[in-house]
């Protein structure tokens, strides 16, 4: 089949979502599909949309897609509760519904999203495909034999409770933690992961409905053991991380992590290629 993976949004978000985009790309190529990738451009093939929440903010574009019967599937990686995405107050849910109602079907890696689409009145198919490991996640720029500069590293959005948690860790006199946000060079992530004892996956608060698997699998696939304080994990993604309550995080960062080989072995047990077979 002919697919086009289209990321909707600015170029910055393509970088942030590159692990997801290329996870789909490599897995579908391996299955024998003809796959292209584009940024904000729909092709004359079945488009797999990443960034439907961005697209919902453009009513003219959504109308154009629906009017011209563009063929697309939505791959939803954000939290949809039936009324909004990621608890945004100004989200255009009516336009989002129009977008999903005109899709071929919706795929999500989160069980928490499944009931929300039914609650929103979506009559189509909502397919679940657990995220997993793919060989191309291994990055040669990440070396687990490099010198240790940091006890821990966090990359991503410091939203909600994460901001206070990261400030607390950075203020410690016992540990050194690197924090990479949206304004930092994207490729600095690899150096930071090379020179950190642990990777960090921090809950952003009570509204968190699931664990971010993309961060977990990227770090684990490259031998970086992950400490995580999230408690809601219906999908079982925490099986490749080390759970620790945040109050004990600083002490745990001082301990030695599992070997890189063990971390990689644990992550590679769940194949993204196999998990996507039933949906693409």
The pLDDT of residue 179 is: 97
Read off the pLDDT band of 70 (50, 70, 90): very high
Q: Where are the alpha helices (DSSP H) in the chain?
A: 11-16, 18-30, 52-55, 59-67, 93-101, 111-119, 161-170, 188-194, 213-221, 249-253, 260-267, 272-275
Read off the pLDDT band of 39 (50, 70, 90): very high
Answer for the pair 115, 199: CB distance below 8 angstroms, yes or no: no
Q: How far apart are CA 261 and CA 224, in angstroms?
A: 9
The pLDDT of residue 146 is: 78
- The SS3 of residue 75 is strand
Q: Please state, rounded to an integer, the average pLDDT across all residues of the chain.
A: 96
The pLDDT of residue 63 is: 96
Question: Residue 113: which of 96, 133, 134, 95 has the closest Cα?
Answer: 96
Read off the pLDDT band of 23 (50, 70, 90): very high
| pLDDT beyond 90 at 54 | yes
Answer for the pair 101, 62: CB distance below 8 angstroms, yes or no: no
Read off the pLDDT band of 199 (50, 70, 90): very high
Map tokens 């791959």 to a residue. Answer: 75
Read off the pLDDT band of 117 (50, 70, 90): very high
**What is the DSSP-derived secondary structure letter of residue 240?**
G
Residue 147 burial (CB count, 10 A): 7
Average confidence (pLDDT) over 75-101:
94
| pLDDT beyond 90 at 259 | yes
- The SS3 of residue 143 is coil
The pLDDT of residue 268 is: 97
Q: How far apart are CA 50 and CA 182, in angstroms?
A: 18
Question: Residue 6: which of 96, 73, 99 has the closest Cα?
Answer: 73
- The SS3 of residue 117 is helix
| pLDDT beyond 90 at 229 | yes
Domains of the chain: 2-128 (3.40.50), 136-267 (3.40.50.2000)
Read off the pLDDT band of 267 (50, 70, 90): very high
Phi first, then psi, for residue 204 (nearest 5°) are -95, 5
Q: What angle do CA 133, 81, 127 make, to 5 degrees?
A: 45
Q: How far apart are CA 93 and CA 125, in angstroms?
A: 19
Read off the pLDDT band of 145 (50, 70, 90): confident
The pLDDT of residue 147 is: 85
Average confidence (pLDDT) over 121-139:
95
- The SS3 of residue 166 is helix
Q: Where are the alpha helices (DSSP H) in 47-92?
A: 52-55, 59-67
The pLDDT of residue 123 is: 86
| pLDDT beyond 90 at 119 | no
């Amino acid at each position: 089949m002919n697919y086009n993976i289209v990321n909707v949004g600015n170029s910055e978000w393509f970088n942030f979502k590159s692990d997801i985009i290329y996870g789909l790309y490599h897995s579908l190529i391996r299955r024998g599909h003809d796959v292209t990738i584009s940024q904000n451009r729909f092709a004359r093939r079945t488009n797999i949309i990443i960034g439907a929440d961005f697209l919902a903010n453009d009513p003219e574009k959504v109308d154009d897609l629906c009017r011209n019967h563009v063929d697309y599937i939505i791959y939803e990686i954000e939290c949809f509760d039936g009324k909004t995405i990621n608890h945004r107050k100004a989200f255009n849910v009516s336009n989002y519904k129009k977008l999903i109602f005109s899709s071929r079907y919706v795929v999500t890696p989160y069980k928490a999203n499944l009931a929300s689409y039914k609650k929103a009145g979506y009559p189509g198919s909502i397919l679940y495909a657990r995220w997993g490991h793919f060989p191309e996640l291994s990055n040669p720029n990440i070396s687990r034999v490099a010198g240790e500069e940091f006890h821990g590293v966090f990359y991503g959005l410091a939203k909600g409770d994460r901001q206070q948690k990261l400030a607390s860790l950075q203020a410690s006199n016992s540990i050194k933690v690197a924090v990479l946000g949206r304004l930092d060079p994207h490729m600095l992530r690899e150096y930071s992961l090379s020179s950190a004892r642990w990777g960090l996956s921090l809950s952003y608060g009570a509204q968190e409905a699931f664990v971010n698997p993309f961060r977990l699998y990227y770090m684990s696939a490259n031998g970086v053991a992950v400490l995580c304080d999230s408690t809601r994990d219906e999908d079982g993604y925490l099986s490749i991380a080390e759970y620790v309550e945040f109050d004990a995080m600083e002490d745990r960062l001082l301990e030695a992590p599992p070997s890189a080989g063990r971390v990689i072995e644990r992550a590679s047990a769940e194949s993204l290629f196999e998990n996507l077979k039933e949906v693409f």
